[in-house]
Amino acid sequence: MTGPQTRVVRFAVNGRPVQVTTEVRTLVSDLLRHDLELTGTHVGCEHGACGACTVLVDGAPMRSCLMLAPQVDGRDVRTVEGLAVGGDLDALQEAFRSEHGLQCGFCTPGILMTLTGEREAGRTVEDALAALPGHLCRCTGYVNVRAAVRRAWSQLEGS
Amino acid sequence: MSDAMSRPGTLVGQRVLRVNDGKLLTGAGTFVDDLHLPGTLHAVVLRSPIAHGRLVAFDAAEALTMPGVVDVLAPEEARDATRPLRCVWLMPGQGQVDYPVVPRVVRHVGQALGVLLATSVAAAEDGAERVRMEFEELPCVVDVEAALGDAAPQLDPGCPGNVAVDLPRGDPPDAVEAAIARADHVVAMRFAIQRLAGSPLEARGVVASWSPATGELTMWSSTQVPHHARDHLAGALGLALDRVRVVAPDVGGGFGPKDHLYADEVLVCLAAMRARVPVKWIEDRREAFTATVHGREQIHEARLAFDDDGRFVALHSDVLADLGAHPSNVGAGPAFVATGMLEGPYRFDSSGGRVRGVLTNKTPAGAYRGFGMQQAAWVRERLVDEAARTLGADPAELRRRNMIRADELPYTTHTHQNYDSGDYAAALERATELVGEGLPAAPDDGRRRGVGLCSYVEFTGLGPSAVQEIVGFALGGYETAVVRVEPDGRATVLTGVSPHGQGLETSLAQLAADALGLPITDVRVVHGDTATAPYSAAGTIASRSMTVGGGAVVRAAGRLRVKILDLAGHLLEAAPGDLEIIQGVVQVRGSPTAAVPLRTVAEKAWLAWGLPPGMAPGLEEKDLHDPQDISYSYATHAAAVAVDLATGRIEIERYVVVHDCGVIVNPMIVDGQTHGGVAQGIGNALLETLVYDDVGQPRIATFHDYVLPGTGEVPDMVVEHTQTPSPFIPGGMKGMGEGGTIAPAAAIGNALANAVPEIAHLVTETPMTPARVWGWLDAAGVATDW
């Protein structure tokens, strides 16, 4: 019996080039979490419903649990670990802390990545709020997640 | 840092930002699947694909030839190596008191039978597909009422008629019936509450590691209850408690279902003991829908009797609780609580109920946030509104007139709840005011609009151990805190409770920091590891961590403060009563030059040099807090809804919570808990349901077909608090983690019935999905065309 097919995948993670030999069926979420030990990307459903595994691929929010490893070959992947440059929380992370926009924190990295994509694409606060239905949070009831979005965007506009 | 965060003695009641958010926001949390121990094998739990039947053949030979597959723990092997798991809450006469880790006869789809280990998750899943299991299928029963029928298959020899529990509640049945017969009116309705999945976004999972050299088993587990899990794990495997360690790392939500040790977790540990390398098992979402306990499902045949003048006379509910395949750790507990809290904030001449816990071929039902009180609120508050409709009375006025007044507290109900303190009518009054404020003028969009109320009293702070003994719930109701000022002057709080999103790392620290005169940044809360945490029988369940666990911190830190002042007084040659601690410095009140840093006091204490005669070394106090009595939080929720007569869709246009949970330690956290609870209550009210077909196969496998509330379904809400201190809890806190979940279904259901009175008699079932509501509208002839 032959083993699963493997392939070398080269891509950038948070600006750092990586090369991994992996089974072609490996999910990007597993590649990040288990091969690269970037465990900040969480897996809540493995079927694209909850959004916890969202990462940025070439700047666009993607469900890493619905992508296979070869799909990120040659691309730029960013995860929650890349947000706090130099260890300081970025403005979005600070807004979530200030507004109590997280409780258990399991869904939070995915939400942060979607919103980072929205911010970097120059989207409005309304756009950002409209992106939230792509995420499930079981703790906050979304009230303070929305408050954090409003705070982050008002700071962006104020700066 | 805000002023409040740097100034000691003033932290309780302040919006202190959470101390552990940084790691969670940067992806640096450690959830159980984030642990990577060298040499780890990955487990797939082999499960029953059928609802009822006898396993007659098990063959893993082919699976063992698959690449990467290392071992298969077969059902017979697992059965021989384990002892049954005990039910924890035993009702009088309960017909089944434990359940095997691996059964001979499976009783639900998803029941664990064995474990396959491989070098990767993918290899393990491939291998599991080649394990051959054959069953002799047996007839199954999935409907709780059908399970009571003569023709129903019998699931357990100890539970004739499939009834595991049957007990009366409250006043003697004759007395309740006599009271009902005396009343001018009776509203009788049948209510059905659906089956739900608590669905923490992190499913369950364990990493198990066995050390043959020391005979020690360590289980990292996504659990709410590390000590409880340890005790039952050791029991199931026949190990001494001192050889089993359970660690709860960061845990991605609990909501009740993670309040126990599961059979599959025992199997994974057993597999790790055999493999002698670490084994990881992470429940996938589809698996979670059948392997993790469900919640809620009950049927209530309920009656509210009242007089012409609106006075409530009697209340009774006959409850069928669908326990699923076997009584879970809590068994019929939620139905016991549903009947125990059925009376809510009102007076009755008589009240009671009957609880029957019935077995069916579904996943066992266990704890879920709101634990019976959600069902009680739905049943009672819908009956109250229908009574108001019968009388042509205002629902708020009818509530007000029957509410237990503040001057009647403490008050003992017919089910022996000793309501402690509060002003229930004040919450009702305020919620009624607030829901009307700011409501936009209703546009003429063809939708009907209505407002609904739900008032409830909530049992929190489980509980005095003596009460636990009375009700047969084998969990000590106490909590222990150790508070220590370290030699460097910073403080460590060891707690037995096990937070998983509630922010107790911050709120417990606030309590200790206030007592010790330290800034919040100088207090660290340590929890979750049975090797270091004080013993906690119950863990973080039942809205008890801040009351029972927090009360222990208040007392331990208070005693430690006394010792600090005694020692500092000795060093300063001042009377301890003249001293205060400000920002980590002990000083003579009003004379800051006569001062000694807490750090110096701590150094002396831990060196034990120059102590006053008789003073023991060290600065550490331990308190075991078994609360004097239950604490009862309460609230009124009000919902304003718009109902589309063409589609049956309910939109929540305004949502108000007026709540009292005693002394609020951190209002930011309390509001956050309330929002989250209301969101889960909205899922309960409008969206979520677990459906089975008639052969016991779940029709739910993903979050695409089990619809959880998203941001679009949960509106911003108005949350206000009053603070009536608990008379029983040091610090005055009452519990509040579950409260938000209790009321939304009833408030929304009452709003729906208010909006469309033609269907009021039909508003008896949840979830109130568009399809179901449209059916009611159609039956009443008020559905409109698109």
Tell me the ipTM for this assembly.
Answer: 0.98
- Nearest CA distance, A157 vs chain B (angstrom): 22
Give φ, ψ of B249 to 5 degrees. -80, -155
Mean pLDDT along residues B486-504: 98
| Interval B722-738: pLDDT, tens | 999 999 999 999 999 99
List, for residues B260-294, the tens digit of each pLDDT value.
Answer: 999 999 999 999 999 999 999 999 999 999 999 99
| B58 in contact with chain A, both atoms CB, cutoff 8 A | no
How many whole angstroms separate alpha carbon B240 and alpha carbon B205?
Answer: 23
Q: In angstroms, what separates the C-alpha of A9 from chain B's closest C-alpha?
A: 19
Element counts in chain A: helices (H) and strands (E):
5, 5
**More confident: B724 or B7:** B724
In chain B, what percentage of residues exceed pLDDT 70?
99
Q: Would you state the pLDDT for residue A3? A: 67
Contact map slice: B 108-127 vs A, CB within 8 A: 121-122
Radius of gyration of chain A (CA): 16
Say yes or no to pLDDT of A157 above 80: no
Where is B373: in which H helix or E strand? Answer: helix B373-391
Asked whether the domain spanning B403-451+633-786 has the same topology as the one spanning B3-29+478-625, the reply is: yes
Domain B403-451+633-786, classified CATH 3.30.365.10, yes or no: yes
Bridge partners, residue B118, by sequence: B42, B69
Beta strands in B275-414 (DSSP E): 279-282, 298-306, 312-324, 350-359, 411-412
pLDDT interval class at B590 (50, 70, 90): confident
Q: Which residues, 6 or more positions from B387, have their beta carbon under 8 angstroms from its beta carbon?
A: B185, B187, B304, B306, B310, B312, B393, B398
pLDDT at A27: 97
Q: Is the peptide bond before B153 cis (omega within 30 degrees of 0)?
A: no
Q: To the nearest whole number, what is the mean pLDDT of chain A?
A: 96
Name the minimum distance, in Å, from the CA of B66 to any CA of chain A. 8
Nearest CB to B201 within list A41, A44, A84: A44
Six-digit token string for B216: 């020690």
Query: Would an 8 Å CB–CB cutoff place A39 in contact with chain B?
Result: yes
For chain B, say whether A24 makes contact (Cβ under 8 Å): no
Contacts of A34 in chain B (CB under 8 A): 36
Percent of chain B that is helix, strand, coil (3-state, to 5): 30, 25, 40
Q: What angle do CA B250, B251, B254 make, to 5 degrees?
A: 160
d(CA B179, CA B421): 28
Cα–Cα distances in Å, from B86 out to B219, B233, B262, B308? 19, 11, 11, 50
Mean pLDDT, chain B, rounded, equals 97
Instruction: Collect all residues of chain A within an 8 Å Cβ-Cβ radius of residue B200.
Output: 104, 106, 138
CA separation, residue B530 to residues A56, B598, B784 (Å): 39, 30, 60
pLDDT of residue B744: 98
Q: How confident is the model at residue B6 (pLDDT cuts 50, 70, 90)?
A: very low
Flag whether residue A81 sits within 8 Å of chain B, measured between CB atoms: yes
> Which residue from B minimizes the CA distance to A51?
B201
Please give the DSSP secondary-structure letter assigned to residue B295. B
Q: Are the C-beta atoms of B596 and B571 separated by less than 8 Å?
A: yes
Query: Residues A27-30: contacts with CB within 8 Å, 24+ apart?
Result: A27/A64, A27/A65, A27/A66, A27/A67, A27/A68, A27/A69, A28/A55, A28/A62, A28/A64, A28/A65, A28/A67, A28/A68, A28/A69, A28/A71, A28/A72, A28/A77, A29/A53, A29/A64, A29/A65, A29/A67, A30/B121
Q: How many residues does chain B have?
A: 786
Across the A:B interface, residue pairs with CB atoms under 8 Å apart total 173
Sign of CA dihedral B192, A49, A44, B713: negative
**Token pair recorded at residue B588:** 């003579």
> Are the beta carbons of B26 and A81 separated by less than 8 Å?
yes
Provide the sign of the torsion angle of the four alpha carbons A59, A63, A65, A71, taken in this order: negative
Set of chain A residues whose Cβ sits within 8 Å of the Cβ of B669 = 100
Determine if the pTM surpasses 0.90: yes
Break chain B into its structural domains and give their ranges.
3-29+478-625, 403-451+633-786
The nearest CA of chain A is from the CA of B255 a distance in Å of 9
pLDDT at B4: 40
> Could you report the per-residue pLDDT of A7-59, keeping only the tens digit for each?
999 999 999 999 999 999 999 999 999 999 999 999 999 999 999 999 999 99
Is any Cβ of chain A less than 8 angstroms from the Cβ of B601? no
Q: Is B259 on the interface with A (CB under 8 A)?
A: no
Q: Which of A34, A80, A143 sits opposite B27 (nearest CB)?
A: A80
How distant is the Cα of A74 from the closest Cα of chain B, in angstroms?
24
Tens of pLDDT along B349-407? 999 999 999 999 999 999 999 999 999 999 999 999 999 999 999 999 999 999 999 99
B 126-145 residues with CB < 8 A to A: none
Whether B413 has a pLDDT exceeding 80, the answer reads: yes
The answer on pLDDT for B1 being more than 70 is no
Residue of A33, A50, A103, A127 to mutate, interface with B, max B Cβ within 10 Å: A103
**Cis upstream peptide for B767 (omega within 30°):** yes
Q: Find where tokens 């649990």 sit.
A: A65
pLDDT score recorded for residue B438: 74
Spatial distance between the Cα atoms of A26 and A29, rounded to a whole number of angstroms: 8
**B10 or B419, greater pLDDT:** B419
CB B162 within 8 A of CB B360: yes
CA distance A22 to chain B (A): 12
* Chain centre distance of CA B586: 41
Q: Between 3.10.20.30, 3.40.30.10, 3.30.365.10, 2.40.50.100, what CATH number should domain B3-29+478-625 receive?
A: 3.30.365.10
Say how far apart CA B472 and CA B110 lie, in whole Å: 29
